[in-house]
Amino acid sequence: MPHFFSNKRLILLLVGVIFLVALISFSLRDRDNASLPEQIIKDVVGFGQSIFSKPTQYITGVFDNVDALLNTYDENKRLKDRLEEFAKLQAEVNDLASENSRLRDIVDKQDDLRDYEPIQATVIARNPDQWEEKVILDKGEVHGVKKNMAILTAQGLIGKVVLTTPFTSTVELLSTQNPNYRVSAMVTGEKEVFGLIEGYDDERKELILKRIDSNIKIEKGQKIMSSGLGGIFPKGILIGEITEVSTDDFGLTKMAYIKPAADFALLDHVMIAKRTMTTVDGTDGDNSGTDEDEDAS
């Protein structure tokens, strides 16, 4: 009797395996419609999944919405700050444009302190005894070059013409030790600050900016440009960058050391600036002013 029950269990196990294999083969075949058992199972499982997934999706959506709102708030704040900054800049531009227009109406002309006609030239000679002071160019009077015209490179201002011949011109560099050589300059920033380039520190290889009001704040890193007020150099030509600020010997005004934008030791191709703006001596485009003209600014 026990042997019969043992065989019966084995037979039931084999029947179950056969039935399971049949179901697997039936479910794996290509069909257009699911069988009734499959439909029941899928519906039950799908209903259970929906019960758990919908609350989960809702909670996730709430967190996503909160995060989006926080990001939107921060972004909106940044955009408002940018808009306020833009409005301020736009107002300043409009004010400057209006002031520029009024000034041009006063002088009844369309020229600007920045305007000049460039004359291309090449350095053809350099005196070893005055390597840091003077260079000679291949353009002269027949090319329209005159005394006191500004000389610049792609990097910035380097000097002015001090002597001309029909076919050459001699340029005195900003690095000269000539005590009478002065350049009217301005410190760029929220408010323009004016001073004079007076002298060159040979050890530091830097220009010296003097005659700055002691109450005016200037700092390292600010750019120095030509002011255009001396009647020789056009306005807005880069001269260099402040590396140090101190006071003069008497403590009444500030002075600053300026790292030149151009390399005075390596000069090849340069530009001669023929100004079109009426200069201080009252002649249109005639840059025949003297060093005293630049000092008067």
Structural domain includes residue 149: yes
Structural domain includes residue 270: yes
Residue type, 90: Q
Q: CATH number, domain at 186?
A: 2.40.10.350
Structural domain includes residue 41: no
Which two structure tokens, joined as six digits, stand for 150? 């500004």
Structural domain includes residue 13: no
Judged on CB neighbours under 10 Å (0-12, 13-18, 19+), 162 is middle
Looking at the structure, tell me whether residues 254 and 234 fall in a common domain.
Answer: yes
Q: Each residue's pLDDT tens digit in the chain (297 positions)?
A: 455 445 777 888 888 888 777 777 766 665 555 556 655 665 565 556 556 656 766 677 776 777 777 777 777 777 776 766 666 677 677 767 777 676 666 555 545 556 778 889 988 888 777 777 889 898 888 999 999 899 988 888 999 999 889 989 999 999 888 888 888 898 887 777 888 998 888 888 899 998 888 788 888 888 998 888 877 788 888 999 999 988 876 667 888 999 999 888 888 889 998 876 544 443 333 443 433 344 333
pLDDT, tens digit, for every residue of 204-242?
Answer: 889 999 888 878 888 888 899 888 887 778 888 899 999
Looking at the structure, tell me whether residues 58 and 103 fall in a common domain.
Answer: yes
Looking at the structure, tell me whether residues 131 and 249 fall in a common domain.
Answer: yes
CA dist 289 and 291 (Å) reads 7
Which two structure tokens, joined as six digits, stand for 140? 């002269």
Looking at the structure, tell me whether residues 155 and 139 fall in a common domain.
Answer: yes
Asked whether 232 and 152 are in contact (CB, 8 A), the reply is no
Full residue range of the structural domain in which residue 243 is found:
116-296
Looking at the structure, tell me whether residues 100 and 126 fall in a common domain.
Answer: no
Which two structure tokens, joined as six digits, stand for 240? 């260099």
Looking at the structure, tell me whether residues 274 and 232 fall in a common domain.
Answer: yes
Looking at the structure, tell me whether residues 123 and 266 fall in a common domain.
Answer: yes
Choose among 181, 81, 86, 187: nearest CA to 132.
181
Looking at the structure, tell me whether residues 92 and 141 fall in a common domain.
Answer: no
Report how many domains make up the chain. Answer: 2
Question: Which among 84, 108, 132 is the end of a domain?
Answer: 108
Q: Distance of CA 275 to CAs 103, 128, 150, 220, 263, Å?
A: 18, 31, 9, 31, 24
